Every structure is written in C-alpha cells, then in structure tokens.
Structure 1
Amino acid sequence: MTVPPRPGPGTGPELDPDGTGFGNDADPLDFVAAVGASWHWAFGSALITLIAGVLILAWPDETLHVLAVVIGLYLLLSGMFRFVAAFAGRAHGERFARLLPAVLFVVAGVLCLRNPLQTVAALSLIVGLIWLASGMLTLYTAIAFKGLPHRGLVVAAGALGVAAGIVVLALPTESAVVLTRLLGLWLVLLGLMELAVAFALRSVTVAGGRPR
C-alpha cells in the first residue's frame, strides 16, 4: 500500500518564476519528493495494482509461468512507485518506513522474473510475505506519524494488506488456478483501496491550494 504524503504549504521545491518547471539549481531530491507527493503518483501506483489483478482474473487458465511474470512485473513496478513516493516523507523515520517496503517489492519482483518457472508454493510464499510486511509497515506509518491525510483510509489499506498476506500464506494453493483466482481477487481489492487513498489525497491537495 502506498502511504500518502503529508501535504502542506511550503513543501516541495519552488517553480521557476514563469511556472513552467523547476529552477536550474533545484535539488534533484526535491524534485523526486515533489513527484512522490503528487496524488497522480499514488493514482498511478493504484492502477498498477488494479490492472495486475484484472489481468490475472482475465487469464485464469494461463500457466504458472505467465502468472509469475505478471506478479513479478506488478511487484517491480509497484516497488518503483513506492520508492519515489518514499522521498515525500518529511521525517527520517517516516521515509525509512516507506523505503523498506519499496525495496522488498523490487527484490520480490526480481525474484519472480528471474525464475518464473517456480512452484505454486514458492510464488504464494513470496507474495504473501510481501503483502504481510507491507501492510504491517503501512499500519505502523499511519499510527506512528501524525498529520497523514485520511488516516482511516491508510489504516484500512494497511489492514487489507495484512489480511491479504495472511490469507495467501494460510490457505493451501495446490494448483495454479486456485492461486490465480486468489491473487487476482486480492490485487483488485488492494487496487480499489489504493485508488480510494489516491482520491482522498487529491481532495486534500486541492483543498490546500496546491496545484493539481
């Protein structure tokens, strides 16, 4: 789950006087932080999750190889989105809590893509552990750091990630078809929750007078 940044006046790098972009002396990290703080970035991350779930549900009879590739691409792309969004965190501890799941997603995605011909048990273990760890870190971020917009939605997204991880790890998946339907369903649910968080972030940024 992508944790929304804490919007507020005076955050992010300044634009050029003509409003066309960042100044030549802008800090690259400030630029990355501004991108990660945008609700559009959270929306893009949510779309990655939702599209992966729809693709998996649309191809329930495909091979385990195809499933592993789709899951690997989802984890890799989602990890990249999370990595950029992590720089929007103000506090050092908050940024670390966001960077850790991003790194886990990227590593898990590389593992899936490097060896797509793995067993159903191995694939479910990778995804289950990633969702569980990411959900727990999202819950920690929502509880530990003040000022997060729509904290209730963030807590719900974290709880859903924890539930998804537990379900995938606890239920036996003896066939690729069972795993496909299970992962596809959870990805759609997680994607819809992340979309809700993105639109909630949009309402906060628009209300705060920040550019859309």
Structure 2
Amino acid sequence: MGRIITVASGKGGTAKSSLTMTLSATLAAMGYRVAVIDADPNACFAQWHGIYEGAPFDCMAEVRQDEIVDQAQAQAADHDVVLIDTAGFGNTTAAFAAGTADYVLVPVMPDRASAVEAMRMVRQVGSFAKASRREIPVALVRARWNAKGLVERAVLADLEAANAPVLDAFFADLSDFGKLTLSGRVPTTGKIAQQTEKMIAELIGLGAVPAKPTKKAKAA
C-alpha cells in the first residue's frame, strides 16, 4: 500500500500546485510509481500535466468529497506515492483528502496571513486525527522563501515559538518555479532539483515517502 500525501492550505496562492509538481516529477524520476489527484475545481495541475515533459506518472481529477477518499485509497493500492493537490478557501473535498492522508504538507509563504492560515490548517488536521482516532502527521513547507530575509526570519520565529512542525528543507524564491508551471519541465539539475531532493530525503526520514520504490515504475 502506497503513501497518501495531501497538499493543503485554506489560503489560495501558497504554491500548493508548484509543490505537487516538483515532488511528483522528481519522485517519478527517482523510480517511484506516482499518482496525483487534482482535487481543485480549477484543475490547474491536471492542465499542467497535459504539457508535462518528464518521467511518467499518473494524474486524474476528483473534486467530489464523497469520492476523493475511495479514489485516493484505490490509487495507493497501485502506486508508491499518491499526492493530492487540493483547493483553498475551506474546500470540503480538501478536508476529506486531509482526513485520509498518511501525511499532510501545508505550504506557508513569508507573510503573516499565510502563517496564520498554516497554523489553522495544522489544528484542523489535528481535529481530523482525533475524529478518526489515528495519527495524521502534518508539516509546514516554506515556499518562495529567502532564508536570509528579515520577514522570513520573523515569520519562522513565530512558527517556531508556536511549536509548528516546519520542515528543514524549503523552496527558495526562484523565478524558475514560475517557469516550470508554463513549460511543463521540472528541472533535474540546479537549485530547484537540489531543494526538491533535499525535501524528499527529509520526507523519507519522516516516513511520509517510502525509503525506496516498492513497485517498478511504468515504462515511458
């Protein structure tokens, strides 16, 4: 049974899809059998997958709250990793997707509103875990982040003071992230690749991603 990772935030524009793009493409290139469920009614990820150039992975859309759990679990039976790209603004399908996840990643931008929303999402996942009587690990992923920036340092200090589960790995504020959403190409070298590989290594250490592919990836 593969791992289900839900990428969630109630705030729009927090790089949920960009995070899903880089993780899915890089994991596929590493030999993992990957599926992505686009649970956003805008279908941004599914549209991007149509122009994607890279190691193959499966992609399907499912925006219905009463179907997302069955779809995610069905895909987990045939894949090593299932990523669910969710919508913002309190979308109920996103809530169900978080509730069925083995791990929830919450992107956070370097601004106060994003940090507040990220912490709200952490608490919400905690409520889902209590309701289902099981642990649902959650971690914040810093996106478009300048590690030396004063705002970033202040926001990170606030998150750490609140004991927020922040990943060590982060995505820097690079124009290449915007380019990949238009080109369909996820870099396999350079800073984006290095940051993504570091994040995947951390997720493997946390048990969010299997240590190695358990099934042979599909041929191109």
User: TM (normalized to structure 2)?
Assistant: 0.28
Q: Which is richer in helix?
A: 1
User: TM (normalized to structure 1)?
Assistant: 0.29
Q: Which is richer in strand?
A: 2
